[in-house]
């Protein structure tokens, strides 16, 4: 199978450790396309934009009425005889976000008969069938993995991956605390929305960044399950 997801590591986990110390291994269902992402625009990336592109902050941002350009999906695969079947269920979301994502899924004309597509107003299901004698390809938008069988797709073109958005967000927050300490201390004292947001960002980064770094160094996508 040759499904491509630009610029993200293979969605697999060869060393997912549980609290009990056991070891699970997963095979990749979709792979990464070794292609450079577009350059960041001259306008740059602000703190809110970076945080809106971090899937792990979804619940926190939602509590403030802030939506993300991200679509949750569940992926599974099965083999019947020599045929492999990949299924991606896109969970319900804002219709505009869902449609922008669906518009960016690319399928070769010759693979039309190998793809089943069922779309509703705010969700959908994609099924890809492929075999050694009848291979098929599809190109998916950029995504990242939070759980072994769950993906988070960015519905719009991005210039950074998940690690990049964490890097930018932490860089901005660090510079604010360093160069404007009086304002930062006041934010902390008042428990301002900005202070709470940065606290949530740091807590999320403590879990996600080590996994993302280890994934890049090991070549295997690391998850805590």
Domain ranges of the chain: 2-34+46-218
CA Rg value for the chain: 19
Q: Mean pLDDT over all residues of the chain?
A: 85
Q: What is the mean pLDDT of residues 54-82?
A: 93
Q: What is the mean pLDDT of residues 187-193?
A: 96
pLDDT(18) > 80: no
> What integer pLDDT is reported at residue 8 of this predicted model?
43
Taking Cα atoms as reference points, which of 131, 135, 161 lies closest to residue 5?
Answer: 161
Cα dihedral angle (140, 87, 19, 214), rounded to 10 degrees?
-20
Sequence-separated (6 or more) residues with CB below 8 Å from residue 21: none
Answer with the residue of higher pLDDT: 58 or 13: 58
Residue 107: other Cβ atoms inside 10 A: 16
Nearest to 74 by CA among 153, 128, 20, 138: 153
Instruction: Render the chain in DSSP notation, one character per residue.
Output: -EEEEETSPPS--S-EE-TT--EE----SSEEE--PPPPPPTT---HHHHHHT-GGGHHHHHHTT---SEEEEEEEEEEETTEEEEEEEEPP--HHHHHHHHTT-EE-GGGGGGEEEEE-SS-EEEEEEEBTTB--EEE---EEEEETTEEEEESS--SS-HHHHHHHHHHHHHHHHHH-HHHHHHHHHHT-HHHHHHHHHHHHHHHHHHHHHHHHHHSS-----
Predicted pLDDT at 198: 98
Pairing of strands 2-6, 31-33: parallel
pLDDT tens, residue by residue, 156-167? 999 999 999 999
Structure pTM? Answer: 0.81
pLDDT category of residue 29 using cuts at 50, 70 and 90: low
Position 3 confidence tier, pLDDT thresholds 50, 70, 90: very low
Kindly state the average pLDDT of the residues 195-202: 98
Binning pLDDT at 50, 70 and 90, where does residue 132 land?
A: confident
Residue range 14-27: mean pLDDT, rounded:
43
- Interval 113-133 mean pLDDT: 91
- Residue 9 pLDDT > 70, yes or no? no
CA atoms within 13 A on the CB side of 121: 1
pLDDT at 137: 86
So what's the pLDDT on residue 20?
42
Which pLDDT value is given to residue 220?
73
Torsions phi, psi for 54 (to 5 deg): -105, 110
Q: Cβ(98)–Cβ(71) under 8 Å?
A: yes
**HEC secondary structure over 170-193:** HHHHHHHHHHCHHHHHHHHHHCCH
Q: Which of 14-28, 140-154, 178-192 has the highest mean pLDDT?
A: 178-192
Q: What confidence score (pLDDT) does residue 192 get?
A: 96
Please tell me the least confidently modeled range out of 19-28, 132-141, 153-162. Answer: 19-28
Task: Say what the pLDDT of residue 93 is.
Answer: 92
């Amino acid at each position: 199978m040759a499904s491509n997801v630009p610029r993200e590591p293979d969605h697999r986990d060869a060393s997912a450790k549980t609290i009990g110390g056991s070891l699970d291994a997963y095979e990749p269902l979709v792979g990464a396309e070794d292609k450079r992402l577009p350059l960041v625009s001259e306008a740059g990336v602000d703190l809110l934009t970076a945080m809106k592109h971090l899937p792990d902050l979804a619940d926190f941002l939602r509590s403030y009425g802030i939506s993300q350009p991200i679509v949750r999906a569940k992926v599974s695969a099965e083999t019947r005889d020599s045929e492999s079947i990949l299924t991606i269920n896109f969970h319900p979301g804002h219709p505009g976000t869902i449609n922008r994502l669906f518009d960016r899924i690319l399928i070769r004309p010759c693979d039309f008969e190998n793809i089943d597509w069922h779309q509703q107003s705010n969700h959908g299901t994609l099924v890809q069938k492929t075999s050694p004698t009848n291979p098929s390809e599809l190109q998916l938008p950029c995504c990242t993995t939070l759980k072994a069988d769950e993906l988070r797709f960015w519905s719009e073109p991005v210039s950074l991956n998940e690690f990049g958005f964490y890097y930018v967000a932490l860089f901005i927050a660090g510079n604010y605390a360093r160069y404007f300490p009086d304002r930062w201390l006041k934010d902390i004292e008042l428990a301002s929305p900005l202070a709470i947001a940065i606290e949530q960002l740091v807590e999320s980064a403590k879990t996600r960044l080590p996994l993302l770094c280890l994934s890049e160094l090991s070549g295997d996508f690391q998850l805590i399950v």
